[in-house]
Structure 1
């Protein structure tokens, strides 16, 4: 099923939705379809040129904002700009991400953990009150790759990546799932929700930094964006929170991604890291 099919018949006029990584792949298709349905989509990209080009290419209302998830000052600046554009967010789709084939660090931390998890953690933290004000939805794009995270899960004692960096993407995707889980707990009673979704094996530009190819059964971005769009706007997801979805239903996940204690610890550690306290 495509994202257009997953949102068929929906009228999103009057809604404002933030999508990270709007310039290509799943993010671009998510923005395109939600704007097509009438939403005002705020799309983030690392450069103003890429963001403007992406937003100009969709039918409907799309506004570009610069966001570099590896730079916490950029995350805070992005959040401030989003606040000026929209006092309420009906959905925040944490889609942007990277895959690396070598050991890279940002501020001593493994880079995929920083970009795929910490940057989004800070962005959501900065904008969470605007989501709650709209009784909105946070959608975190995770991956079935979380099941191949390093043994023991989040490597709290060596977040530099030393010894486990070849599993860095899987580690970051586990962090995405745990973040969404703990966020759902914190949102209880607020009317806002948090869910993690897997788009499936989708052919995008995310593997541009690695030698791995795509399987013959790889999905198109239109298919990969279907579940993120569904989670962000479909009436069937109203009030649903704390779930991990794949193909619109509960997906297979590891015991580690269901570990509430690990999720709570990750939240506290992440909070310290984005504030430079760790």
Structure 2
């Protein structure tokens, strides 16, 4: 049974940090994988989990960059992984499975945003390919380790950007319609939410629960594809190119809080398949709601989740039983 998509409430909020969300929990003996765990909120997520005693595996497309970022963080193992390369995903997963270790936490954090049109080696649009399909394949390949944990969580980092678009099942890879980087991003972020919903339905009988989330608006390297004009329009920069002293952006420590909460909090015990924000379960809002908070109906539609799951299996050639 999917959990109710409404606040618990948790007692936390937008200003909660990742360390505060974790509290005093002891994660010794637990194993976690954090994709993108060497920059931005991924780095803070990895740091906090490792600081509580977990062994954290950080797969990186650029290991040298990751090594420098994680220098001095104990309990972290670096691996190579390119989410745009199916063979790289399979190789990474095989290495982890061959280690014989269970996987208690899989934080699918890595992603790209509003980039120019590009395609992976299969011809799939890059934002859907990296943000969703790469993590779909990774999760499916790691399924035996997740089940072995006898109580695992899969956390998919989505975004409030899901409000921009649902899944265009007729032309998801922009083969016929004009490419729009923001529609592509919205579609990919909706896919993250639908993935968690469908995965939780499959994982619950095996003790694997799944969550999706909006971490908050955070100034990280994710904005690297935006022009100065776009940064000013979104409030990231002022007319002089400076970050305004007062804006809606969270710190990195606050941005990682919902990641850590979804991965570890006993408040979510026995729950799953929900979209979270500000360290709580988010409210459902109308499709045309003017505000940015909450989850739109198309992102929590179980029929759309099942349809996307079937498409994802076909696109990747991977299933939980493969």
**TM-score normalised to structure 2 length:** 0.81
Partner in structure 1 of residue 118 of structure 2: 104
Q: CA RMSD in A?
A: 1.5
Alpha-carbon displacement from aligned partner over 1:214-258 (angstroms, at most 9, x marks no partner) = 542211111110010011012222221111111122212111011
Which residue is equivalent to 2:250? 219
Match of 1:157 in 2: 170
| Structure 1 residues 86-235: aligned runs within 5 Å | 86-106=100-120, 107-134=122-149, 135-149=151-165, 153-161=166-174, 162-166=177-181, 167-211=183-227, 212-213=230-231, 215=236, 216-235=247-266
Structure 1 gaps of 5+ residues are none
Q: Which runs of 4+ in 1 moved over 4 A?
A: none
Structure 1 contact 66–78 (Cα < 8 Å) conserved: yes
CA contact (8 A) 1:25 1:221 kept: yes
Residue number in structure 2 paired with 1:271:
313
The equivalent position to 1:27 in structure 2, one of 29, 33, 42, is 42
- Alpha-carbon separation, structure 1, partners of 2:65 and 2:86: 20
Distance 1:185 1:25 in 2: 30
Count of matched residue positions in the alignment of Structure 1 and Structure 2: 272
Moved more, 248-257 or 20-29: 248-257
Displacement after TM superposition at 1:128 (Å): 1.5
Question: Is 1:72 aligned to residue 81 of structure 2?
Answer: no
Partners of 2:130 and 2:178 in 1: how far apart?
19
Distance 2:25 2:80 in 1: 28
State the distance in 2 between where 1:255 and 1:217 align. 24
**What is the aligned partner in structure 1 of residue 27 from structure 2?**
12
Q: Which has the larger radius of gyration?
A: 2
1:164 offset after TM fit, Å? Answer: 4.7
**Partners of 1:259 and 1:195 in 2: CA distance:** 15
Greater length-normalized contact order (CA 8 Å, ≥ 6 residues apart)? 2
